[in-house]
Amino acid sequence: MKKLGLSRASALTTIGLTLLLASCDVPRSTLNPAGPAAEKLANLEWLMIFIFLCVTFFMWVLIMWAMKRTRRGNFSEHAPIDIGGGQGWVTFGGFLFPFIVLTFLFVVGLRAMSSFPMGDNEKTEEPKPDILVIGHQWWWEAHYLQGGVDQHFTTANEFHIPVGKPVDIALESTDVIHSFWVPKLHGKVDLVPGQVNYIRIQADKPGNYGGTCAEYCGAQHAHMELLVVAQTPEDYQAWYQHQLQPGAEPTDPEAVHGKEVFLAGPCILCHTVRGTSAGGTVGPDLTHLASRQYIAANAFQNNKANLEGWVTHAQTMKPDAEMPNLSFFTGTDLRSLVAYLQQLQ
């Protein structure tokens, strides 16, 4: 190690860690792009890492060279060292070199940034988004806007998209600034109150692509997650048609009782289940809650225990969320209520 030198050891460690990060299938790594826009950004990232390594290497060579010269020469400790070249070094190293490198990166960066707006669409006409995503403290509301009004529906936190097809998303916020970020599909775009922003995502192969809110937005910012599920066109169509349906009518006696509990309780003030009298719009649409993999903006797995916990102790699981502790639901009522929610496929 001594012979290798600290600088070279740290440079090798950096290269090693970078390669490791790129080779592992890290679910949310920007270095593992899964769509064309993310690929553009990943290429930019690799280029920057490469240039950063070259510059670091060049600097260390210069430092080593200067140290060697100092030792060889017969200098007293505090005497100024003339390495020759005079002003040429200052002009090149202090101005020309950084100017060329930074200008190059700036231009390449600008080109990569062109992938952000929704292409030419934005310049020529009013954009027609496929999905309108609205940020809330702390969850994501999604309105699917394809086709006619009878083809529209609302869901939350889990967005399905067809593979190989660009999907245009309009981004709005009802409260504070959030930021939509699915690292493997694209960069970040903010959701700003009073303004509509756009992003175009595309996934090249089916899979789950995790995302998160990338702008600090309050107590539960870290638990404002989202999931993009990319499906084959057939699977996507099946999902889409299913989501258009009203909430499943329970047949099991426990779930039938659960529906009564649900409709008689305060749930309906905030939540919607299409096909019932529950029409609240404060919280996520629950029409197909059971078809989603997670609850509470993807902070918890969607299962019986977490649903019971969420209904009765939401403030413990996610303090400050809009969902209150409905701890008066106990025993049979609670079990029935969760049974009803779990059959909302």
Place of tokens 């231009």: 107
Q: Report the residue number, 203 or 213, with the smaller CB distance to ligand CUA.
A: 213
- On whether the CB atoms of residues 232 and 204 are closer than 8 A, the answer is no
**Nearest approach, Cβ of residue 185 and ligand CUA (Å):** 18
Quote the CA–CA distance of 38 and 187 in Å, as a whole number: 7
Token pair for 17: 């860690």
Distance of CA 133 to the CA centre of its chain: 13
- 92 interacts with ligand CUA by CB under 6 A: no
**Nearest approach, Cβ of residue 135 and ligand CUA (Å):** 6
Q: Percentage helix, strand, coil, to 5, in the chain?
A: 45, 15, 40
Q: Report the residue number, 30 or 220, with the smaller CB distance to ligand CUA.
A: 220
Q: Report the residue number, 118 or 213, with the smaller CB distance to ligand CUA.
A: 213
Q: Report the residue number, 223 or 257, with the smaller CB distance to ligand CUA.
A: 223
Quote the CA–CA distance of 255 and 290 in Å, as a whole number: 13
**Nearest approach, Cβ of residue 169 and ligand CUA (Å):** 16
**Nearest approach, Cβ of residue 318 and ligand CUA (Å):** 13
One of 41, 132, 138, 172 touching ligand CUA (CB under 6 A): 138
Segment 253 to 312, residues that bind ligand CUA, using CB under 6 A = none
Binding mask 169-198 for ligand CUA (x = CB under 6 A): ---------x--------------------
**Nearest approach, Cβ of residue 137 and ligand CUA (Å):** 7
Token pair for 6: 């600290």
Quote the CA–CA distance of 317 and 294 in Å, as a whole number: 14
Binding mask 200-239 for ligand CUA (x = CB under 6 A): -------------x-xxx---x--x---------------
**Nearest approach, Cβ of residue 216 and ligand CUA (Å):** 6
Q: Report the residue number, 219 or 305, with the smaller CB distance to ligand CUA.
A: 219
Paired sense of beta strands 189-191 and 167-173, if any: unpaired
Q: Report the residue number, 224 or 311, with the smaller CB distance to ligand CUA.
A: 224
Nearest alpha carbon to residue 317 among 306, 301, 326, 327: 306
Residues 6+ away with beta carbon under 8 Å from 82: none
Q: Report the residue number, 158 or 248, with the smaller CB distance to ligand CUA.
A: 158
**Nearest approach, Cβ of residue 141 and ligand CUA (Å):** 12
| Partner residues linked to 210 by β-bridges | 227
Q: How many CB atoms lie under 10 A from the CB of residue 207?
A: 14
One-letter amino acid for residue 61 of the chain:
V
Residues 6+ away with beta carbon under 8 Å from 186: 35, 37, 38, 41, 115, 199, 200, 201
Q: Report the residue number, 46 or 216, with the smaller CB distance to ligand CUA.
A: 216
**Nearest approach, Cβ of residue 213 and ligand CUA (Å):** 3
Quote the CA–CA distance of 187 and 37 in Å, as a whole number: 8
Count of residues of this chain found to bind ligand CUA when the rule CB under 6 A is applied = 9
Q: Which residues bind ligand CUA (CB under 6 A)?
A: 135, 138, 178, 213, 215-217, 221, 224
